């Protein structure tokens, strides 16, 4: 159904604004995604919004028309509104001109098919939504199966994480679990667990990786706990030629993921 909202007092707007809070997202099972590029990639991955908000009275791109048509055909709502109202929903002054309300789609650990992809990303206690979203984007770029979030991580369905993922939240499986569940699951089948660490002399380019490879990245500030590191099949280190002793967590993950990918691409 197509409709219009012009007033800030509309009760639906309060509900949608509430999706910026984790507690309310969890309760509703919904999250927000902004921008035509991300929403088009979501559609291509098989995800359509329950509600599509768009700024009215402007030139409309052909991709947006196609997206609106698909939403209406699927029984969703297209809601026309003002730039000010969309900025209120977004929480950003320079909000996008289109936004969607989507059902969240977490994946249970036991539903993962580890043979589906040669690379899987694993993050422990990741706190920064920008890092988490960037890791999802990296996973998509290297053809990873998904991102497994260990212990208490930031919400992958927050506005900031979704924005940083650039659409990869819809192409990558996202699992949230505890270490005590992850490790037995991993050891029940094939899988090489590779940890990035400062406590090893093994160069990341000298190591031999095997598929499926699970690349484990630690918390931004503390890295991996010692007992988690001790469970890795392989610990590797990236050379630091300057004064910094480590890379940003998302950057380190990307460097590792491409090294593993490059090894898998080489002729055997």
Measured N-to-C along each axis, helices 129-142 and 249-265 cross at an angle, to the nearest 10 degrees, of: 10
Query: Is the entire prediction scored with pTM above 0.95?
Result: no
DSSP state of 133: H
The sign of the dihedral angle between the CA atoms of 253, 259, 260, 265 is: positive
Could you report the per-residue pLDDT of 37-65, keeping only the tens digit for each? 999 999 999 999 999 999 998 889 999 99
Around Cβ 152, how many Cβ atoms within 10 Å? 12
Please, what CATH class does the domain formed by 109-265 belong to?
A: alpha beta
- Pairing between strand 77-81 and 119-124? unpaired
Q: Binning pLDDT at 50, 70 and 90, where does residue 68 land?
A: very high
List the beta strands (DSSP E) in the chain.
2-4, 30-34, 51-55, 77-81, 98-103, 119-124, 146-150, 173-177, 192-196, 213-217, 234-236
Please, what CATH class does the domain formed by 2-103 belong to?
A: alpha beta
Q: Binning pLDDT at 50, 70 and 90, where does residue 268 land?
A: low
Q: Where are the domains of the chain?
A: 2-103, 109-265
Q: Give the closest residue to 122 by CA, choosing from 261, 266, 230, 228.
A: 228
């Amino acid at each position: 159904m197509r409709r219009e909202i012009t007033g800030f007092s509309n009760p639906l707007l309060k509900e949608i604004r509430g999706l910026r809070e984790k507690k309310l997202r969890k309760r509703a099972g919904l999250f927000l995604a902004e921008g035509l590029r991300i929403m088009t990639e979501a559609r291509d991955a098989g995800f359509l919004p329950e509600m599509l908000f768009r700024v009215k009275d402007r030139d409309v791109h052909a991709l947006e028309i196609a997206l609106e048509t698909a939403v209406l055909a699927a029984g969703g709502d297209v809601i026309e509104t003002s730039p000010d109202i969309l900025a209120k929903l977004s929480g950003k002054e320079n909000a996008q001109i289109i936004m969607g309300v989507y059902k969240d789609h977490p994946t249970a650990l036991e539903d993962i098919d580890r043979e589906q992809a040669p690379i899987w990303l694993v993050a422990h206690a990741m706190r920064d939504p920008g890092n988490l979203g960037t890791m999802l984007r990296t996973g998509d770029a290297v053809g990873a199966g998904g991102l497994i979030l260990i212990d208490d991580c930031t919400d992958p369905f927050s506005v900031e994480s979704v924005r940083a993922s650039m659409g990869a939240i819809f192409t990558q499986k996202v699992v949230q679990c505890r270490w005590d569940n992850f490790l037995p699951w991993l050891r029940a089948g094939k899988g090489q667990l590779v940890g990035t660490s400062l406590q090893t002399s093994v160069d990341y380019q000298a190591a031999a990786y095997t598929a499926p490879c699970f690349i484990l990245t630690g918390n931004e500030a503390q890295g991996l706990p010692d007992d988690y590191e001790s469970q890795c099949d392989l610990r590797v280190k990236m050379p630091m030629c300057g004064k910094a002793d480590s890379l940003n967590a998302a950057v380190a993950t990307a460097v590792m993921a491409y090294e593993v990918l490059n090894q898998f691409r080489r002729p055997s």
